[in-house]
Amino acid sequence: MVNDYFATAPRGLEELLAAELKSLQLEDVRVQRGGISFRGEIAAAYRACLWSRLANRILLTLTQFSADDDKGLYRGVQTINWAAHLDPHHTLAVSFTGVRAKISHSRFAEQRVKDAVVDQIRDRTGARPSVDTENPDLRIHIHMAVDAVTVAIDLAGESLHRRGYRLQGNIAPLKENLAAAMLLRANWPEIAAAGGSFIDPMCGSGTLLIEAAWLAGDTAPGLLRTRFGFHGWLGHDDDAWKALIDEALERQERGLSQIPTLIGFDQDEQAIAATRAHLRRVGLAEQVRVEQEEIADTRPPEGASRGLVATNPPYGERLADNHELVPLYLRLGQTLKSHFAGWRAIVLNGAGCQLGLKPDKTWQLFNGPIECRLERFEIAANSGVSDHEPAQDLVNRLLKNQRQLKKWLAREAINCYRVYDADIPEYALAVDVYDAVDARWLHVQEYAAPASIDPTRAQTRLRAALNVLPKTLETDASKMIFKVRQRQRGDRQYGRMSEQAQRIEVREGPCRLWVNLTDYLDTGLFLDHRPIRTWIGENADGKHFLNLFCYTGAATVHAALGGAATTTSIDLSTTYLEWTEKNLHLNQLNSPNHQLVRADCREWLADCAETYDLIFLDPPSFSNSKRMEGDLDIQRDHAELIRGAARLLTPDGLLIFSTNRRGLKLDPALSDQYLIENRSAWSIPKDFARHQRIHQCWFIRNNR
């Protein structure tokens, strides 16, 4: 019996799916909205379920009718003889989709369809099937376009992209059918047949590797699945299905010897473990090589002059995340140019970052809700080199700055410093070097360009800069972190940017400190405040030290190691207090003499009855944290804060007030109450001398 079928497809893959179904010798294949229609006997639909690498579902059309409301929907569904499809002891599930449908509430429509089916069977048999939304015997699919209703049986059951090789709970950003689409767009089957190799430099959980092996080895993607939607359907033809399985197994056995060299790389140990586990599940552990490697160190196998590099780099869900990914994409592009001449590459680019290579073909795709560019590259020996090899003016400036700072850095034993701060207007970056205990890291921030700057020109300059920075500053490219520094407002001011937790240990004088280069706009260590912290450490011996708005407690560690009798650190942020505690523990400062207090500094100052010899007051310029009463504006509120802190000073005590609010003017009335010394020029270190207004600093004593 010849039936009508509909294969649903991810957005952007309709034409590709149509070509695939035609290659399976299916009849009357036609592209329609949301998928592909075709006709044939039930074996044709089974073949699509077993062999389609692109489809989500294969739907068997039962009937079509018009309905203006739920009553019409109920009557239309009851025209079908449901006894031919399920028994009373079977379970069912109903799904509803619509385009400008007369019935807009999908749950209500699903309920009415279920009622129509159940009522008919109960009236005929006296018993009724039950609903199982997870694993039903029969899935009924309803589509309504305005008033036109199509009723179908879902022969796939679970979406066909679920091949059955993923470990339970494994999170995969790339669906299997989208991975297959990437490979088909790259013409991987032809490359493999010609003896080309395959490499995924960021293999994640191994999806592209497995799909590539199956394509090259003529393996049906549905072979691992133990259940399809038609297995619980009364119309199932088991003989037709078993014949297709036998054929697929024979083809798989023959194809195993045709699989070329496939290699997966990833720098993440957990990703490598997941990939190997998936390869074992599909029986490809011997055919596919997997290694832990950074992108910049990825190389083709020895003697492989041609092949395909396919990968799905990280995306990031927010603009800040995407900018952090810029160096990653550039390293990928640089690796392709330098080591894969003569190869083809295909990249699912969901971050919108440029690789520094010009794609020969681009398609728009959706990976779930994320709109992506699928970019294909033919890599020539000189691909894209002229685009961003220059930047010699930036290189010269970096080398000059390094020479000028070298003796000072050695003399002062400084390991974390700013080497470049928009010295050349065309390269609007701040570049900080963090010589950590284990390696040198670069923290690069791009200042948001004004609207007058041509975005394309700015991107070219940025790519040029990011390409030369690691080599010029003798840093591994994987240890360069990039962000865009722009004015933050409201809750985003001190918010988390990502979840990488790239915590590294650095030294500042006698102190050991944790910094986090990835998760926040700032790293946990304000480098421009280094002289103030050093002075505190040198002058804290025997004193009681108070650190207001303590941030990550670097000043507290300096004071404690400098011999402070006690330290008290105040902050409203649990994150910063935990960070301060970790910094204290890193320096073996686990004494009760070092107290951490979670509080709004203004409220705490009003209630405090203790006195202190040395107080450091370094508030944010603005804060409207939900945990504090009202907001904090340092221009408006600095006098109140200074008076509150000065009230706690011992007779000979000192208050150090610092702010990065440019243009802040001290309240003139403060000079009548206190002895105030402007120490701003002294407090700016040599590596920040280009920007004397990066912060202001005053020493304040009671006028007694």
> Looking at this protein, which amino acid is placed at residue 621?
S
Q: 332 pLDDT exceeds 70? A: yes
Identify the pLDDT of residue 32.
Answer: 92
Of 679, 675, 683, 678, nearest to 654 by C-alpha is 675
What is the topology classification, in CATH, of domain 390-486?
Transcription Regulator spoIIAA (3.30.750)
Identify the pLDDT of residue 226.
Answer: 93
CA distance 4 to 36: 11
Q: 319 pLDDT exceeds 50? A: no
Burial call 561-582: b when 16+ CB within 10 Å, e when fewer: bbebebbbbbbbbeebbebbbe
Identify the pLDDT of residue 168.
Answer: 60
Residue 465 token pair = 């800069």
CA distance 58 to 17: 12
DSSP for 128-190, written as a single string: --EE-SSS-SEEEEEEEETTEEEEEEESS-S-TT--S-SPTT---SS-HHHHHHHHHHTTHHH
Identify the pLDDT of residue 459.
Answer: 78
Q: 664 pLDDT exceeds 60? A: yes
Instruction: Write out the E strands in 81-146.
Output: 91-99, 130-131, 138-145
Identify the pLDDT of residue 321.
Answer: 52
Mean pLDDT of 124-139: 95
Q: How many CB atoms lie within 10 A of CB 494?
A: 16
Residue 235 token pair = 């119309």
Angle at 495 between CA 491 and CA 498, to 5 degrees: 145
Q: 318 pLDDT exceeds 50? A: no
- Over residues 140-179, the pLDDT tens digits come to 999 999 999 999 999 999 999 999 998 765 455 799 999 9
Mean pLDDT of 628-642: 86
Identify the pLDDT of residue 370.
Answer: 85
Q: 417 pLDDT exceeds 80? A: yes
Burial call 439-463: b when 16+ CB within 10 Å, e when fewer: ebbbbbbbeebeeeeeeeebebbbb
- Over residues 491-522, the pLDDT tens digits come to 434 444 444 566 899 999 999 999 999 888 88
363: left (phi over 0), alpha (psi -120 to 50) or beta: beta
Q: 384 pLDDT exceeds 70? A: no
Q: Lowest-confidence range among 54-58, 445-449, 498-502, 651-655?
A: 498-502
> Looking at this protein, which amino acid is placed at residue 152?
A
Helix (H) or strand (E) holding 673, with range, is: helix 670-673
SS3 state of residue 659: strand
Identify the pLDDT of residue 629.
Answer: 64
Identify the pLDDT of residue 460.
Answer: 81
Q: According to the CATH classification, is domain 521-702 in 2.60.40.10?
A: no
Q: 88 pLDDT exceeds 70? A: yes
pLDDT band at 322 (very low <50, low <70, confident <90, very high): low
What is the DSSP-derived secondary structure letter of residue 702? E
Residue 47 buriedness (CB in 10 A; 0-12 / 13-18 / 19+): buried
Of 6, 32, 30, nearest to 19 by C-alpha is 30
Q: Would you say the C-alpha torsion 685, 687, 692, 696 has a positive or negative sign? A: negative
* Domain limits, the chain: 3-154, 176-217+255-387, 390-486, 521-702
Which residues, listed in sequence order, are joined to residue 27 by a DSSP beta bridge?
Answer: 39
Which residues, listed in sequence order, are joined to residue 512 by a DSSP beta bridge?
Answer: 507
CA distance 45 to 237: 11
Mean pLDDT of 230-258: 97
Q: Which residues contact residue 329 at a Cβ distance below 8 angstroms, ignoring those fewer than 6 apart? A: 313, 349, 351, 353, 354, 355
Q: Which residues contact residue 206 at a Cβ distance below 8 angstroms, ignoring those fewer than 6 apart? A: 264, 274, 275, 276, 278, 279, 288, 290
CA distance 453 to 455: 6
CA distance 606 to 640: 10
Q: Which CATH architecture has domain 176-217+255-387?
A: 3-Layer(aba) Sandwich (3.40)
CA distance 171 to 317: 16
Angle at 122 between CA 120 and CA 127, to 5 degrees: 150
Identify the pLDDT of residue 461.
Answer: 85
> Looking at this protein, which amino acid is placed at residue 590?
N
pLDDT band at 450 (very low <50, low <70, confident <90, very high): low
Mean pLDDT of 412-418: 96
Q: 325 pLDDT exceeds 70? A: yes
In percent, how much of the chain has pLDDT > 70?
Answer: 92
CA distance 599 to 548: 10
Which listed CATH number (3.40.50.10490, 3.90.400.10, 3.30.2130.30, 3.90.1150.10) goes with 3-154? 3.30.2130.30
Q: Using an 8 Å Cβ cutoff, are 208 and 200 in contact?
A: yes
| Average pLDDT value for the chain | 91
- pTM of the model as a whole: 0.78
Helix ranges, 24-69 (H): 42-51
SS3 state of residue 309: strand
Helix (H) or strand (E) holding 319, with range, is: helix 319-324
| Domain 390-486 and domain 521-702 have a common topology | no
